[in-house]
Chain A
């Protein structure tokens, strides 16, 4: 058995550390001395670098230290993964680009052509995180008026066609959301490997669609037993269809030489969170089942960081410190490795890890945590004592 490790490319800028709320990397915060990509030159002029130059550094760090590639998220105020991937294609050698994509936004045949072209450009380094949208105002911001379960219906038909035109030069399809007559990719594009499909979403409609189409079911971290149960259900459900689906976890780590150092960084970060940030994360309207499973942790109401420790090495306030889900792993290198080993024991076949700042933490986690993973969780925890 082998386990796949991916990193993450932050598409909404990056912080210098978990202690600060400003985006000193990229231009999501005002440009000031000390910022990078863009930064200020000697004479106070913008230095000409742009955020893609920083993403290049992160991708190179991740591929150097042993991650297979990285997830490239897509939200209203992020840079777009379909453009980031080709921009980085020739700057990297083995880094695989996991494009987060809502199928409703693209014509399925044209999207297949784009995907096959990217496979050709990168030697087969493309894969997808298929997402289906959190609903609420954000969905109409994107120009999408479909309701939750219809969106999954559309995702499912999209994937039928996407795979269909890749497999055959002459496909017709008559669905509720898409029609196609005599479509198919040209031979040079069709001979490329079909990209791996990862799938995110926690609702029943999501799990049903994932079981039919995906290679990996991807989840945010949840309390371990709950996640283990979910993975077991996903695998059973997929097996009932005569298919196999693996399971993956997307999780942030704060890994330090000692547990005290790790919690110290969390505490400082927590104490620097502004009231405005708490307000912003409170009660954002969504029809996402996955988001509600996370929101049940209620991190915005906590007054002390340690109120949010939900289990050993599990902290539920990450969304206060940076965009993303609430739950993450905090501890010494050995403890972090032990928690990952716990997740493997509960059915995780792959991980998307992240840490802030993404560049330095890719090196740290790749050098300090991943090498420990060959050992059993129990041995690791004994070493951490």
Chain B
């Protein structure tokens, strides 16, 4: 299996970069001709170009309620990069499933089918209520199930009719030319069996949180059993935060300056490549990597880790 490797952009990370009015001042004797039309999106575009140039397969854009919206960022960076899969993450509370699918159709048409969808993990009730979302905890999975059923349904079938608790459609479905691209590659996440069962019905990729290789292998086996029941195939993905340096000492030294996300892989380039290759051998075919600062680390990981990792997984593939 080919290993697809994506980078994750967090729009709330490095919040001052390219933010008009908050940029660091230069000393007066340095002539400052930075364009006033510059804005935050210049930074997102810079990251996306870095990710394309360093041979990642895709760019994820995190959902952050305190930052720019992911689907707007995704459309802007997709127009500025030739090749990447672009995967905005958004919550199932965004509104009409038909409307979300219709927006996806335009995105696909304009980018030769380079859109993916990642559904964000649900936030707690108070945060949801601050988003005008009052669906109770116990109904959230059902809502997501219906959201995805309707979004896929109107994309695939004409006519499409559906009557659920959260969504309904009568005699719907897209016509040519809106239905001529594939549905966005769909990434779901979640650790419990219910999340895996939902992925088995809808996802193209189920994204796991970082953990030991043997634990992950077990969860992948469960996922595969559930998907076989549905008569489908769902790829296993791993979200992996990184702190990688030329050697282990350098990495451990830098741990002291950075608050790290839980499960961060702290390692040399070679060790990290070994570890990620082990995940690949356990059945992971989609890697979602992240590190801060987003731009510099995209270059580092793209230039140093990816070639090592691809050499290892390529060799394993040839041997198989």
Contacts and interface: CB of A to CB of B under 8 A. Distances in A.
Q: Among A77, A80, A180, find the residue whose CB has the most chain B CB atoms closer than 10 A.
A: A80
B95 A52 contact: no
A312 B40 CA distance: 51
A52 B109 contact: yes
Interface residues of B, number: 57
A216 B43 CA distance: 35
Contacts, number: 165
Q: How many A residues are at the interface, by size bracket?
A: 35 or more
A356 B37 CA distance: 33
A50 B133 contact: no
A379 to B, nearest CB: 40
Contacts of A48: 112
A183 B131 CA distance: 6
B96 A106 contact: yes
Interface stretch (A113-121, A244-252, A274-282): A113-121
Nearest to A118: B72
A142 B129 contact: no
A110 B95 contact: yes
Nearest to B91: A110
B130 A105 contact: no
Interface in A62-102: 76-77, 79-80, 82-84, 86-87, 89-91
B65 interface: yes
B170 interface: yes
Given A107-B95, A140-B169, A180-B129, A83 B69 contact: no
Interface string B98-119: 1100110111011010000000
A111 interface: yes
Contacts of B217: none
A105 B129 CA distance: 18
Interface of A: 26-28, 48, 50-52, 76-77, 79-80, 82-84, 86-87, 89-91, 104-111, 113-114, 117-118, 120-121, 123, 137, 140-145, 161, 173, 178-184, 186, 188-189
15 contacts: A77-B178, A79-B105, A80-B103, A82-B72, A83-B110, A105-B95, A105-B98, A105-B99, A106-B96, A121-B72, A137-B170, A140-B170, A142-B169, A143-B97, A180-B132
Interface of B: 15, 19, 37, 39-41, 45, 65-69, 71-73, 75-76, 78-80, 90-91, 93-99, 102-103, 105-107, 109-110, 112, 126, 129-134, 150, 167-172, 174-178, 180
Given A90-B79, A109-B132, A180-B130, 9 more contacts: A28-B177, A87-B79, A105-B95, A109-B130, A110-B90, A120-B41, A140-B171, A143-B167, A184-B130
